[in-house]
Amino acid sequence: MSEPNVRPAQNHLPALLFLSHPLTGHLTPTLRVAASLCNSGFPTFFLGPTVHKARIIAAAGAPVPTLTFIAAGRNSGERHEQGVGAEQGVDVDERKDNRKEKGITFLPLLDSANLDDLTYYSPDSPDPPTPDYFSLPWQQRGLIDLEKTWIDTIPDEWRSVVAAFREVHEREPGREVIVVCEALFFGIMPMFYGAALPAGMKSTRTIALSVTVPFIRSADVPAFFVGGEEEEDDKKRGRKTWERCTRGLKEKMEEKLRVAGAVLKGGMEGALLSGQNYTCHDVILQLGAPGWFYPRGDWPENFRFVGVLPPAEEPSSGWANLPAWWDEVRSAKQKGKKVVVVAQGTVEVDPNDLILPTLKAMAGRVEDLLVVAILGRKGATLPRDSSSPTNARVTDYLHYDAVLPYASAWVHNGGYGAVQHGIAHGVPMVVAGEGMDKVENAKRIERCGVGLNLGPPGPSVEDVKKAIDMVLDDERYQHVAVSLRSQSTELDCFGAVRDEVLKLAGRGGN
């Protein structure tokens, strides 16, 4: 443990301990929420993988913003602009100085929990999850991922959490601690099943921050990955299939929880991923616009939508890694051209999956359309045997929030982060992907009308062309995208999370 930098509590704001599964797609949105709260004055700690240490430390640093919140005891429709902590009588100027001195404190995940996901998912890795991993269907790879990176790591994750608790209490003696836990970080669950906490520490208030489709069982929604869409018999059949396929993983998860010190007399209720890792928390905060999800009438009572993350602001020094052709993107609209952006994220980076089909599909629209292709990893290039049409602009890496304000269509493989970026910018989407939650995301994109689902990776050039032409020409897709953006903006993501933290503060724990 590092030498504690002890500072007595100088205000009534709680310290925040953020926990996240180390996959980049989970860590990135969680870190943005952490940075917002750190910049608002909360002493903030982040338990994460060492491969992301520098990024986590550097995440906060913007000037402390004015907080808009609904003050307790006031008209629920009346919003008030004050510094965070004003209703607790905090010296705001003093708090600003404290925040600037400290920033986010990084705390490391230990041993098997300290995952480098880019290495894990690299076909060039000398130690793949299983010898045949990259040749397996996505459903089998997903179950392997669930076992290797979620279940097997629970004991080491819990040791990491306990060490983090000790560190936070040493650095912030006497200050209340609230945990903000990315909902698919299973390492906190031993606490809810009786695992021992550090000496002198009571249980703490916790918030589940859901940064994916919430895996909470519903009578109204098909089972994830295997459920039928409409018929009730198909839904029931899908749930039974999921329970059968994951029974062994659930038993292993119970075993790992016991190894971590949990007390499980009869095991966990329900099937694996039925919602136990959500409902154990005091509050569940879901990133996303409500209209994007399947309608359901059985959300948990403590469940709340908080909207998508707002677009990142352009740094004062400008966006990093802007390509030489960037002015063509900025001036496209003035020249009567639409911009189509295509990317596949940072994990599924074979350009044959979607990028090359998109470039070929739009090659005939040189006069009225520009295609921006983002390869997803710094230094990446297209295969030597491929060619770029004259209206294509290709780059290795580009911040989505830099380019999506100019986009008329957003083509991607269905990752939840990409979906949320599309909603944040009000851009209709075309998706083709598989693995993790991408299939579930694609279903919701098409159901709500914000875009089209082309199924698994590698759609035909003709199918891609038809889909992009449709979302560009049919204004209904644009209307839905703008409507979802408005829903999200009204929810005020960062402000909503801060409100929930302030509501929990002082209600018991540690």
Beta strand 369-374 with 338-343 is: parallel
205-244 in b/e form (b: 16+ CB < 10 A) is bbbbbbbbbbbbbbeebbbbbbbeeeeeeebebbbeebbe
105 and 212 assigned to the same domain: yes
Dihedral of CA 287/290/294/299: which sign?
positive
pTM (two decimals): 0.87
| Whether residues 374 and 409 fall in one domain | yes
Q: How far apart are CA 128 and CA 151, in angstroms?
A: 17
Tell whether 434 and 405 lie within a shared domain. yes
Give the CATH number, domain containing residue 462: 3.40.50.2000
| Token pair for 499 | 């409100």
pLDDT band at 4 (very low <50, low <70, confident <90, very high): very low
- Residue 81 or residue 308, greater confidence: 308
Residue 499 resides in a domain: yes
* For residues 134-155, average pLDDT: 93
Q: What percent of the chain has pLDDT over 70?
A: 87
State yes or no: pLDDT of 299 exceeds 90. Answer: yes
> Quick one: 414 and 376 in the same domain?
yes
CATH assignment of the domain containing 208: 3.40.50
Q: Is residue 376 part of a domain?
A: yes
Q: What is the average per-residue pLDDT within 475-494?
A: 98
Residues 37 and 103 in one domain: yes
> Tens digits of per-residue pLDDT, 218-245?
888 877 766 555 556 666 777 788 888 8
Q: Is residue 468 domain-shared with residue 342, that is, in the same domain?
A: yes
Per the structure, the count of domains in the chain is 2
The pLDDT score that the predictor gives to residue 227 is: 52
In which residue are the tokens 């540690």 written? 510
Q: What integer pLDDT is reported at residue 432 of this predicted model?
A: 97
pLDDT at 72: 31
Report yes or no on 486 lying in a domain.
no
18-52 residue pLDDT tens: 999 999 999 999 999 999 999 999 999 999 999 99
Give residue 100's identity as a one-letter amino acid code. K
Q: Are residues 434 and 371 in the same domain?
A: yes
289 and 368 share one domain: no
What's the confidence (pLDDT) of residue 424? Answer: 98
User: Among 25-34, 243-252, 265-274, 387-396, whose mean pLDDT is lowest?
Assistant: 265-274
Q: Give, in order, the Cα–Cα distances in Å from 145 to each of 22, 134, 152, 435.
A: 12, 12, 10, 10
Q: What pLDDT score was predicted for residue 79? A: 32
User: Which among 342, 432, 319 is positioned nearest to 391, based on CA atoms?
Assistant: 342
Task: State the pLDDT confidence band at 89, using cuts at 50, 70 and 90.
Answer: very low
Q: Does residue 290 sit in the same domain as residue 369? A: no
pLDDT at 95 (0 to 100): 35
Q: Are residues 307 and 374 in the same domain?
A: no
Domain that holds residue 280: 15-115+153-216+275-311+491-504
- Provide the residue type at 296 as one letter: R
Task: Decide if pLDDT at 9 tops 60.
Answer: no
Q: Give the model's pLDDT for residue 350.
A: 85
**pLDDT over 90 at 246, yes or no:** no
Residues 157 and 86 in one domain: yes
Residue 406 shares a structural domain with residue 497:
no
